[in-house]
Amino acid sequence: MQESKNLFERLRRGLARTRRSLGTGLERLVKGENPIDPAFVEELEELLIGADLGLKITEKIIGKVEQAKKERRLKKPEEVRDLVRDSLFELVEGTEIAHPPEAPLRVILIVGVNGTGKTTCVGKLAYQYQEMGKKVMMAAADTFRAAAIEQLDVWRERAGADLVKGRPGGDPAALVFDAARAAKARGHNILLADTAGRLHTKNNLMEELKKICRVVGQEIENAPHEILLVLDATTGQNAFSQAQRFKEEVNVTGLILTKVDSTAKGGIVIRIAHELDLPVRYVGLGEAIEDLRSFDPTLFVRALLEEA
């Protein structure tokens, strides 16, 4: 119970920007005796769009409000707030988390653009799996950035995991193949592969990512079992474009949302999860090794809307 409360408070702080525009605005709108008239609905629409929820979700929620009003199910403005909250929860909860087939060695690729925190996420996930009693291998496949290899080596020590690394500028697909072979031979349960930060608009880099998927699949059946896309929570619309392109190219199975601080644009998370049918798996709430947390849709929506 205390753990859940602490997580909620940290999410509230992280989503303060969105809550100020959406949560506070919604409270102001439904307070008092304002009639649920066209002006009320128009202001609600502006609040939803301003929270980075996008046009499709906004239209869906407005449609529910208008239908409920038509059927005389809305007696007072406060009920609109409840309808919005329930709708957001349904949208983000409705995305299915894919459950990959059981495998003696599960291969997880971590992908995304530069600066989102991929390498840090690999280290934190390695720590989590190690704490669960799994034997973890990490692959330093971001060979274009020497600092990424060094950074992952530091995380190896912190997490207590193993690491396969090569020389800067080496072939990432070959390195992941070697890591998969080594992990299988040594009885590891999890292989986490860090990949180079690539702009979602660069075709050659996307092709390289596809090559990694093909090559590792030759060594481990059904691999990669998961492809987790790391997104910066502060980037808003650009995060949607990234998620859309990565899913088209490499069959992303889930999202990791990093940098959930006071400037995070929380509404875009719900839009990505719903419109692209991509479940949010983890949220990053800080720099500590324990600060990558499993995503809880109920707490997330509450943190978006509630003042206390």
Residues 275-286 pLDDT 10s: 999 999 999 888
Q: Are 134 and 190 in contact (CB under 8 A)?
A: yes
Task: List, as one string, the DSSP characters of the chain.
Answer: -HHHHHHHHHHHHHTHHHIIIIIHHHHHHHSTT---SHHHHHHHHHHHHHTT-HHHHHHHHHHHHHHHHHTT---STHHHHHHHHHHHHHHHHSSPPP-PPP-SSEEEEEE--TTS-HHHHHHHHHHHHHHTT--EEEEEE-TT-HHHHHHHHHHHHHHT-EEE---TT--HHHHHHHHHHHHHHTT-SEEEEEE----TT-HHHHHHHHHHHHHHHHHSTT--SEEEEEEETT-THHHHHHHHHHHHHH---EEEEE--STT--THHHHHHHHHTT--EEEEE-SSSTT-EEE--HHHHHHHHH---
Q: pLDDT tens digits for 126-176?
A: 999 999 999 999 999 998 877 888 999 999 999 999 999 988 888 999 999
pLDDT single digits (tens) 178-236: 999 999 999 999 999 999 876 545 567 788 899 999 999 999 999 999 999 999 888 87
Identify the pLDDT of residue 308: 45
Q: Are 301 and 119 in contact (CB under 8 A)?
A: no
Predicted pLDDT of residue 230: 95
pLDDT of 120 strictly over 90 = yes
pLDDT above 90 covers what percent of the chain? 48
> What does the pLDDT look like over 51-90, one tens digit per residue?
889 999 999 999 999 999 999 898 888 899 999 999 998 8
Averaged over 266-275, what is the pLDDT? 88
Distance, CA of 150 to CA of 234 (rounded, Å)? 26
Report all structural domains of the chain as residue ranges with CATH numbers, in order of start: 2-93 (1.20.120.140), 106-296 (3.40.50.300)
pLDDT tens-place string over residues 5-50: 788 888 888 888 888 888 889 988 988 777 889 999 999 999 999 8
What is the C-alpha to C-alpha distance for residues 272 and 266, in angstroms, rounded to an integer? 10
- For 82-118, write each residue's pLDDT tens digit: 999 999 988 887 666 666 667 899 999 999 988 899 9
pTM reported for the whole predicted model: 0.91
